[in-house]
Amino acid sequence: MSIHEVFMPALSSTMTEGKIVSWVKSPGDKVEKGETVVVVESDKADMDVETFYEGFLAHIIVEAGETAPVGSAIAFIAETEAEIEQAKSLANSSGAAATTTASPEPVAATASVATPALASQNGSNHKEGRLVASPRARKLAKELKVDLTTLQGSGPHGRIVAEDVEALSNKGKQPTPAPVAPPAPVPTSTPVAPPAPHTPAPAPVVAAVPGQITPLTTFQNAVVRNMVATISVPVFRVGYTITTDGLDKLYKQIKSKGVTMTALLAKAVAVTLQKHPLLNASYSDQGIVYHSDINISVAVAMDDGGLITPVLQNADAVDIYSLSRTWKSLVERARTKQLQPQEYNSGTFTLSNLGMFGVDKFDAILPPGQGSILAIGASRPQVVATPDGLFGVRQQMQVNITSDHRIIYGAHAAAFLQDLAKLIETNPQSLTM
């Protein structure tokens, strides 16, 4: 008998459990080696999971919507149709963990973010009550208030894809009386990718019922674990006031070319880090880890209450226009949980911008595995004394850096902030070169 367990894979270094978003295959379906069988929500993104075995999906242990620890069995795959009933018997007996007849291989699935999941080979999109749709299609349907059960999928073997949802919305075929036109998007990224440099934006909408306990999402649980992990790190904070008149003027000049304020700030920080490699470093038991690349993470609030930090890799070396295009792509895919692991876990320095909410200043919590995080407040007009002894009005913002005191000291952080302010105040045009 050849019956294999499909295990919950570890899709990121911080993942301890995963949630089944949807089963692409149904019990009894034929599966090929390397074919997607299930979509799993990790602590960072939704990812397609492939099987290492060829055969038939015999039995599903963990249904869609349920959660399982990393490494636990979530399904059985039988090599022949004749073994499907035997696999069901295994599941109904003492359990997959106790059986010795199942295949002992420790891993039966792997993440494949770039390849879209396939639907059931029998062509049915609703077999046994299951609806097969891509994660982006589900997200879009929620935003456009489209009932997925009314759609006929145009994807492989009947899978519903984003284009199906958009087509129904554009043609006005939605049977419900509510208008199909999409609502104004929830500004999950407005703190870090604002449409204008200093216009307040509303906070993400989170549904709440008074008196009810709402379980934490997978994203929220990941944030909890990361925040708890930082408690043992000794940190210190240094604040600085930066005049932004020159940066604001530059932004207005190049905004029409697709440049975002987030990209400008990330570029300014990255260029400054070239002079201060210690601020781009991190602590390890072996000593100080000096990173070869300058990868800027930018905190983005998710509309389900979670937090993710898409990474602008090599931000010091990429031109501002490419950097802005990359940022827009990262935010779009972060909203639909389609980021690849290296796009959210490769950061060496983090930015957190609450200025768009009108926040003057705040303290940011140091992410695990990094040496510093910079909190950015709102830019406001301030009355200041000019060098000629008069008074003038200047746009100023307050920034506050949190650093790991095991490797970075106050003088290091202060020198970095001085150079960052000098760049933004006296030579912002260099960011476009």
Q: Which phi and psi (to 5°) does residue 122 adopt? A: -80, 0
SS3 of 9, please?
coil
Residue among 394, 361, 415 nearest 243 (CA): 394
Coil, helix or strand at residue 162: helix
Residue with tokens 């960052």: 420
The number of C-alpha atoms within 13 Å of 85 and in the hemisphere containing its C-beta is 1
Q: Could you count the other beta carbons within 10 Å of the beta carbon of residue 219?
A: 20
CB 337 within 8 A of CB 176: no
How far is Cα 266 from Cα 70, in angstroms, rounded to an integer?
34
Cβ–Cβ under 8 Å, residues 274 and 419: no
Strand (E) positions, 263-421?
282-284, 287-289, 296-298, 300-301, 307-308, 311-312, 349-353, 372-385, 391-404
| Whether 157 is catalytic | no
Instruction: Give 76's strand partners.
Output: 5, 59
Catalytic residue among 4, 59, 276, 405: 405
Q: How do strand 55-60 and strand 17-23 relate by DSSP bridges?
A: unpaired
Catalytic residues: 405
